[in-house]
Structures are given as structure tokens and as C-alpha cells.
Amino acid sequence: MKKVVCLYGTASEMTEKMNKRAEQYAASRNLKYEWVPQQPWSVESAVEALQEADAGIIDVEPYDEKIFSRIKDRCHLLVRYGVGFDAVNLTEASENHIAVARTTGANAESVAEMAFAMIMAAKRNFLTNDRNVREGRWCRTIGQEMLGKKLGILGFGAIGRKLASLFSGFQAEVAVYDPFISKEQAEAAGVKAEDLDTIFSTCDAISIHVPYTKDTHHLINAERLALMKKTAVVVCTSRGNIVDEEALAEALKNHQILGAGLDVFAEEPLPAESPLIGLDNVILTPHVSAQTEDALWNMYKKAIDISADFLEGKEIGGDLLNPEYRG
């Protein structure tokens, strides 16, 4: 029986519950499953676990030649528990003939719901109004509706499409920026493809769902924030460093835009000295957009399915990140 090890998650009641369920499900796919909590994660602890496995389920830590060269004799697949893969060196994985995949779409509903909630909370000034009541001020900060307004989505993959669907009940016009989507494909999905400057200058809310690459580093910068309406909000649930946090803090401090929501940051945990922390027009959450029981299980299940299919010699399609691994 082939073996898959899971390096995701620290010990908690929820992760123990999920891993017991994962072990049972893996057995139904003819896999031996072992959870190896990383407390803390290190290159040595990862290598030790992966050297004894045919496939591994990994989290957000950096994986490169230091690991690949030592596990390649047995472990031929790593599955990213989630979607972002910027910490995995795909070139070096391919050079060691290790396939890398991700659990595409498994957490899309949860992340889209988080982005939706952040947009609505920012548009209605939830933080300011909550703080006013808690501090004894019965004053009302006026917000903005999204009914009939324009939503901009950067990145129209599984999460972006879910978010567009959530806003369909608001009769919102949805504009998307995605270099991999044609105008015809966008129109077929009921949205409009637009360039970044048009989206930033015309949308009432903007949600970011692009991966982090050298091309998306500080995609949201002072120049683009300056294009936004004073009543607009921007939220990011994808990856830190896509947003220039210093520029965003300045725009919020000067009330250049209405508000923002960030679930991801350039440095995590967010440093106490971050200029964002003292602002009451930005929602800050600790990278939890995919942290629902539903999404967690969907990612476990999909990671196991990908592992089982791969080890059975089946194609894993669009979940594979480096098809060149075959050499």
C-alpha cells in the first residue's frame, strides 16, 4: 500500500478530527495516511517525514532543492494544501522529477464568502460603528450599498467566479481583470473584461484573487489606489505583497478611499508596528479566509484524491503545477 504523509496543521481538536477522517478516507482510496504535525516546521523535519512517503501534503513553508534532493528517491508528489504555491520552487522540483499539485477550487466557496463579507463590512463601516458603541458613542457612520454598483475582481479563477456569483443577487455589474481570460470568455461568464486602470477608477469595490508572482508584486500600489473613488473599498484574500501595505495605509489614513480588508500580509503574523493596525477603516484577519470546517475537509479530500490518482498512474489535470517534472 502506498503511503501519503500530511505535514499540514498543528495539534488541535479540529486538526485531529480532520486527520482521523482523512485517514479513513485515504484507506478507501487504498492509501496509508499519516499525519506528522510540524511543531515547528523545519527542513529536517519535512525531509524526515517525506523520505518515508510516496506523496506528501504540504502547507505554506518553502520547499526547494534542499528538500527535493533528499526525498526524490521515494517521494514523487507534493500536494499543496490550498491554492498558493509561491513558496514552492517548481523548477527545482521538476529537476528532481517531483510533481507538485494544489487543491484547486476546494476552498473557493469559503474564500469567496470571506471576500464578500469583507466588502460588505467595509462598505457599511462595521468597525467604526462597532467601536463607537463599545466606547459609549451612539453615533452613526454612514455607509454605502452595493446594490446596482460595480464590482472589480482581479483574477477570475474558481474563487473569483464564486464571488461574482455571490454578487449576482445585488444586480451588480462585474468587471474582471485576468490575463488568462479572453473578452469572449468573460462575456460567456456574464462579466466584462477590463484593464486594471479602468477597474480601479470605476469600481465601487475591488477584490483581489491573483496569485503572488514577480508580476503581481505590489500590483495594488499608490498610483492605482489614487485612481479609486473615495467611496470605494479594496479587499485581498489571496497573498501578501500583492498590496503595498504602506501605500494602502496612507490612502486609508487620508480617507482617499472608504475602506479595505486584508486577510493576508507581506509578513505573517502582522508586525505590531504595521501602520495598518491603528486604523479603524481596515479589517485585518489572520489568514483565515479558507478556515471553515467545510473548506478544510474539501482540501484534505482533494489532496488525498490527487495523491491516489497520481500513484495509480492517472492524470491529475489542471491541479498539476509542473507538468515538465517528467523530464
pTM of the shown model: 0.92
38: confidence class by pLDDT, cuts 50, 70, 90: confident
pLDDT, tens digit, 9 for 90 and up, residues 204-240? 999 999 999 999 999 999 999 999 999 999 999 999 9
Tell me what pLDDT residue 308 has: 99
Q: Is 140 left (phi over 0), alpha (psi -120 to 50) or beta?
A: beta
What is the overall mean pLDDT for the chain? 97
- Alpha-carbon gap, residue 314 to 88, rounded angstroms: 23
pLDDT, tens digit, 9 for 90 and up, residues 71-111? 999 999 999 999 999 999 999 999 999 999 999 999 999 99
Q: What percent of the chain has pLDDT over 70?
A: 100
In the chain, where do the E strands start and end?
2-6, 31-35, 55-58, 77-80, 99-102, 150-154, 173-177, 192-193, 205-208, 233-236, 259-262, 282-284
Tell me what pLDDT residue 39 has: 81
Contact call for residues 116 and 289 (beta carbons, < 8 A): no
Contact call for residues 4 and 307 (beta carbons, < 8 A): yes
Catalytic residue among 80, 194, 239, 245: 239
218 labelled catalytic: no
239 labelled catalytic: yes
287 labelled catalytic: yes
Tell me what pLDDT residue 276 has: 99
- Alpha-carbon gap, residue 137 to 140, rounded angstroms: 9
Contact call for residues 103 and 300 (beta carbons, < 8 A): no
pLDDT, tens digit, 9 for 90 and up, residues 151-192? 999 999 999 999 999 999 999 999 999 999 999 999 999 999
Catalytic residue among 268, 293, 312, 315: 268
21: pLDDT strictly greater than 80:
yes
11: pLDDT strictly greater than 90:
no
- Alpha-carbon gap, residue 209 to 259, rounded angstroms: 18
Catalytic residue among 23, 218, 287, 324: 287
Q: Which domains does the chain have, with CATH numbers?
A: 2-106+291-326 (3.40.50.720), 108-284 (3.40.50.720)
Tell me what pLDDT residue 327 has: 63
pLDDT, tens digit, 9 for 90 and up, residues 273-285? 999 999 999 999 9
pLDDT, tens digit, 9 for 90 and up, residues 289-299? 999 999 999 99
Under DSSP, is residue 51 helix (H, G, I), strand (E, B) or coil?
coil
